[in-house]
Amino acid sequence: MGILPEDAPDPRVEEAKSLTLMPIPVVGLASQPTLEDTDSVSVNSILDETGYSELTASITYTLWRNPDDRSDPVNRADLDAETLQAIEEVPPWSRPAWLIQQVERMRYPQLWEAVRTTWQREPSASLQDLLADHVNHILSNQYREELWPGGEPWDQRAPVVTARMVNGQARTILDGADVPGAEVDTDPFVYGIGARLPGGVVTAVLPRAELKWIQVRFETRSE
Protein backbone atom coordinates (compact mmCIF):
# COMPACT_ATOMS: atom_id res chain seq x y z
CA MET A 1 0.00 0.00 0.00
CA GLY A 2 1.38 3.41 -0.92
CA ILE A 3 2.03 6.26 1.47
CA LEU A 4 -0.31 9.23 1.15
CA PRO A 5 1.44 12.61 1.11
CA GLU A 6 0.52 15.08 3.82
CA ASP A 7 -1.35 17.25 1.30
CA ALA A 8 -3.39 14.39 -0.22
CA PRO A 9 -6.97 15.59 -0.85
CA ASP A 10 -9.76 14.53 1.46
CA PRO A 11 -11.89 11.95 -0.45
CA ARG A 12 -15.02 13.48 1.04
CA VAL A 13 -14.54 16.43 -1.33
CA GLU A 14 -15.04 14.16 -4.34
CA GLU A 15 -17.90 12.38 -2.58
CA ALA A 16 -19.63 15.75 -2.11
CA LYS A 17 -19.24 16.46 -5.83
CA SER A 18 -20.77 13.07 -6.65
CA LEU A 19 -23.79 13.95 -4.53
CA THR A 20 -24.70 16.67 -7.03
CA LEU A 21 -25.59 13.88 -9.47
CA MET A 22 -28.56 12.85 -7.31
CA PRO A 23 -31.81 14.09 -8.92
CA ILE A 24 -33.59 13.97 -5.55
CA PRO A 25 -32.63 15.23 -2.06
CA VAL A 26 -30.59 12.84 0.07
CA VAL A 27 -32.32 11.69 3.25
CA GLY A 28 -30.67 10.65 6.51
CA LEU A 29 -31.63 10.00 10.09
CA ALA A 30 -33.02 12.95 12.00
CA SER A 31 -30.39 15.08 13.73
CA GLN A 32 -29.79 13.77 17.28
CA PRO A 33 -27.00 13.94 19.88
CA THR A 34 -26.01 10.28 19.63
CA LEU A 35 -25.37 10.32 15.88
CA GLU A 36 -22.64 12.27 14.11
CA ASP A 37 -22.88 12.77 10.37
CA THR A 38 -19.23 13.08 9.35
CA ASP A 39 -19.99 13.77 5.66
CA SER A 40 -19.07 10.19 4.85
CA VAL A 41 -21.49 9.61 1.98
CA SER A 42 -20.77 7.08 -0.73
CA VAL A 43 -22.48 7.40 -4.10
CA ASN A 44 -22.95 4.43 -6.42
CA SER A 45 -24.40 4.51 -9.89
CA ILE A 46 -25.60 2.34 -12.75
CA LEU A 47 -25.08 3.63 -16.28
CA ASP A 48 -26.63 2.59 -19.56
CA GLU A 49 -26.52 3.96 -23.10
CA THR A 50 -28.75 6.92 -22.19
CA GLY A 51 -27.09 7.92 -18.92
CA TYR A 52 -27.64 7.17 -15.26
CA SER A 53 -30.41 4.64 -14.65
CA GLU A 54 -29.88 4.36 -10.89
CA LEU A 55 -28.09 6.35 -8.18
CA THR A 56 -27.73 5.58 -4.49
CA ALA A 57 -26.28 7.72 -1.70
CA SER A 58 -25.33 5.89 1.50
CA ILE A 59 -24.57 7.71 4.77
CA THR A 60 -22.27 6.40 7.50
CA TYR A 61 -22.61 7.74 11.04
CA THR A 62 -20.47 7.68 14.16
CA LEU A 63 -22.44 6.53 17.21
CA TRP A 64 -21.93 8.27 20.56
CA ARG A 65 -23.63 6.31 23.33
CA ASN A 66 -22.80 9.12 25.76
CA PRO A 67 -22.64 12.27 23.63
CA ASP A 68 -22.24 14.50 26.70
CA ASP A 69 -18.84 12.97 27.48
CA ARG A 70 -17.06 11.61 24.44
CA SER A 71 -14.18 10.40 26.63
CA ASP A 72 -16.55 7.98 28.39
CA PRO A 73 -15.34 4.39 27.69
CA VAL A 74 -18.95 3.44 26.88
CA ASN A 75 -18.44 5.22 23.56
CA ARG A 76 -15.64 2.89 22.45
CA ALA A 77 -16.17 0.21 19.83
CA ASP A 78 -15.43 -3.40 20.70
CA LEU A 79 -12.19 -3.84 18.75
CA ASP A 80 -9.89 -6.81 18.44
CA ALA A 81 -6.23 -6.47 19.42
CA GLU A 82 -5.05 -6.33 15.80
CA THR A 83 -7.35 -3.44 14.89
CA LEU A 84 -6.49 -1.55 18.06
CA GLN A 85 -2.77 -1.93 17.36
CA ALA A 86 -3.26 -0.62 13.81
CA ILE A 87 -5.03 2.47 15.18
CA GLU A 88 -2.44 3.21 17.82
CA GLU A 89 0.62 2.58 15.67
CA VAL A 90 1.86 5.96 14.45
CA PRO A 91 3.94 5.70 11.24
CA PRO A 92 7.27 7.56 10.96
CA TRP A 93 5.94 9.82 8.21
CA SER A 94 3.45 12.68 8.12
CA ARG A 95 -0.15 11.91 7.24
CA PRO A 96 -3.02 14.11 6.01
CA ALA A 97 -5.08 15.58 8.85
CA TRP A 98 -8.25 14.00 7.46
CA LEU A 99 -6.63 10.55 7.51
CA ILE A 100 -5.53 10.95 11.14
CA GLN A 101 -9.10 11.91 12.03
CA GLN A 102 -10.44 8.95 10.06
CA VAL A 103 -8.14 6.50 11.86
CA GLU A 104 -8.99 7.98 15.26
CA ARG A 105 -12.71 7.66 14.47
CA MET A 106 -12.25 3.89 14.11
CA ARG A 107 -12.15 3.72 17.91
CA TYR A 108 -15.88 4.41 17.97
CA PRO A 109 -18.85 2.48 16.54
CA GLN A 110 -19.58 3.29 12.91
CA LEU A 111 -23.05 2.77 11.47
CA TRP A 112 -21.69 1.86 8.06
CA GLU A 113 -23.90 2.88 5.12
CA ALA A 114 -26.79 2.99 7.59
CA VAL A 115 -29.12 5.12 5.45
CA ARG A 116 -29.49 4.79 1.71
CA THR A 117 -31.37 7.08 -0.69
CA THR A 118 -32.16 5.39 -4.01
CA TRP A 119 -33.26 7.02 -7.24
CA GLN A 120 -34.20 5.03 -10.37
CA ARG A 121 -34.86 6.72 -13.70
CA GLU A 122 -37.57 4.15 -14.39
CA PRO A 123 -38.63 2.75 -11.00
CA SER A 124 -38.41 -1.01 -11.30
CA ALA A 125 -37.97 -2.11 -7.69
CA SER A 126 -40.52 -1.86 -4.90
CA LEU A 127 -39.79 -0.38 -1.49
CA GLN A 128 -39.77 -3.93 -0.14
CA ASP A 129 -37.21 -5.01 -2.76
CA LEU A 130 -34.89 -2.08 -2.01
CA LEU A 131 -35.16 -2.51 1.76
CA ALA A 132 -34.39 -6.24 1.50
CA ASP A 133 -31.40 -5.43 -0.72
CA HIS A 134 -30.07 -2.89 1.79
CA VAL A 135 -30.52 -5.33 4.70
CA ASN A 136 -28.66 -8.07 2.82
CA HIS A 137 -25.88 -5.62 1.89
CA ILE A 138 -25.29 -4.78 5.55
CA LEU A 139 -25.56 -8.38 6.74
CA SER A 140 -23.14 -9.73 4.14
CA ASN A 141 -20.55 -7.01 4.82
CA GLN A 142 -20.88 -6.46 8.58
CA TYR A 143 -22.13 -9.79 9.96
CA ARG A 144 -20.46 -12.31 7.68
CA GLU A 145 -18.71 -14.22 10.46
CA GLU A 146 -21.85 -14.41 12.58
CA LEU A 147 -23.93 -15.68 9.66
CA TRP A 148 -21.38 -17.93 7.96
CA PRO A 149 -18.60 -18.84 10.44
CA GLY A 150 -15.44 -19.80 8.61
CA GLY A 151 -16.89 -18.88 5.21
CA GLU A 152 -14.82 -17.12 2.58
CA PRO A 153 -15.67 -13.54 1.54
CA TRP A 154 -16.10 -14.59 -2.10
CA ASP A 155 -18.54 -17.42 -1.33
CA GLN A 156 -21.90 -16.91 -2.99
CA ARG A 157 -24.73 -16.87 -0.48
CA ALA A 158 -28.48 -16.83 -0.90
CA PRO A 159 -30.15 -13.61 0.33
CA VAL A 160 -30.83 -13.71 4.06
CA VAL A 161 -33.89 -11.49 3.67
CA THR A 162 -36.29 -11.44 0.72
CA ALA A 163 -38.98 -8.92 -0.20
CA ARG A 164 -41.63 -11.38 1.00
CA MET A 165 -40.20 -11.13 4.51
CA VAL A 166 -40.66 -7.34 4.61
CA ASN A 167 -43.64 -5.91 6.49
CA GLY A 168 -45.23 -3.48 4.05
CA GLN A 169 -47.70 -2.08 6.59
CA ALA A 170 -45.25 -0.20 8.82
CA ARG A 171 -45.18 3.51 9.57
CA THR A 172 -42.25 5.86 10.00
CA ILE A 173 -41.44 9.56 10.40
CA LEU A 174 -40.11 11.64 7.50
CA ASP A 175 -39.42 15.35 8.02
CA GLY A 176 -41.70 15.33 11.05
CA ALA A 177 -44.66 13.70 9.29
CA ASP A 178 -46.03 10.21 9.87
CA VAL A 179 -45.80 8.32 6.55
CA PRO A 180 -46.38 4.78 5.25
CA GLY A 181 -43.31 2.59 5.32
CA ALA A 182 -41.92 -0.92 5.31
CA GLU A 183 -39.77 -2.69 7.87
CA VAL A 184 -37.70 -5.78 8.62
CA ASP A 185 -38.08 -6.47 12.33
CA THR A 186 -37.31 -10.18 12.39
CA ASP A 187 -33.54 -10.33 11.88
CA PRO A 188 -31.49 -10.94 15.05
CA PHE A 189 -28.67 -8.61 14.00
CA VAL A 190 -30.27 -5.60 12.31
CA TYR A 191 -33.49 -3.62 12.08
CA GLY A 192 -34.56 -2.25 8.69
CA ILE A 193 -37.06 0.52 7.92
CA GLY A 194 -37.85 2.48 4.77
CA ALA A 195 -40.28 4.81 3.05
CA ARG A 196 -41.09 6.16 -0.37
CA LEU A 197 -39.87 9.63 -1.36
CA PRO A 198 -40.97 11.90 -4.19
CA GLY A 199 -38.99 10.26 -6.98
CA GLY A 200 -37.21 7.66 -4.87
CA VAL A 201 -36.88 5.56 -1.73
CA VAL A 202 -35.05 5.88 1.58
CA THR A 203 -34.02 2.87 3.66
CA ALA A 204 -32.16 2.49 6.94
CA VAL A 205 -30.50 -0.62 8.34
CA LEU A 206 -29.32 -0.32 11.94
CA PRO A 207 -27.58 -2.65 14.40
CA ARG A 208 -30.22 -4.10 16.68
CA ALA A 209 -27.78 -3.91 19.62
CA GLU A 210 -27.55 -0.11 19.22
CA LEU A 211 -31.22 0.74 18.69
CA LYS A 212 -31.70 1.99 22.25
CA TRP A 213 -29.36 4.88 21.43
CA ILE A 214 -31.06 5.88 18.16
CA GLN A 215 -34.25 7.75 17.30
CA VAL A 216 -35.38 5.97 14.14
CA ARG A 217 -36.85 8.78 12.08
CA PHE A 218 -35.87 10.30 8.73
CA GLU A 219 -35.01 13.84 7.75
CA THR A 220 -33.95 15.46 4.49
CA ARG A 221 -30.20 15.99 4.75
CA SER A 222 -28.87 19.51 4.41
CA GLU A 223 -26.12 19.72 1.81
pLDDT in tens, 13-42: 888 888 889 999 999 999 999 999 988 899
pLDDT at 2: 67
pLDDT at 172: 98
In the predicted model, is pLDDT for residue 1 greater than 60? no
Q: How many CB atoms lie within 10 A of CB 136?
A: 20
Q: Output the pLDDT for position 19.
A: 86
Across 76-80, 143-147, 150-154, 204-208, least confident range: 150-154
Query: Does residue 57 contact residue 48 with C-beta atoms inside 8 Å?
Result: no
Output the CA torsion 138→143→144→146 (10° steps).
Answer: -150
Backbone angles phi, psi at 117, to 5 degrees: -100, 130
Neighbours of 128 (CB within 10 A): 21
Q: What is the pLDDT of residue 40?
A: 85
Which of 10, 29, 35, 33 minimizes the C-alpha distance to 101? 10
Q: What is the pTM of this model?
A: 0.91
pLDDT of residue 153: 66
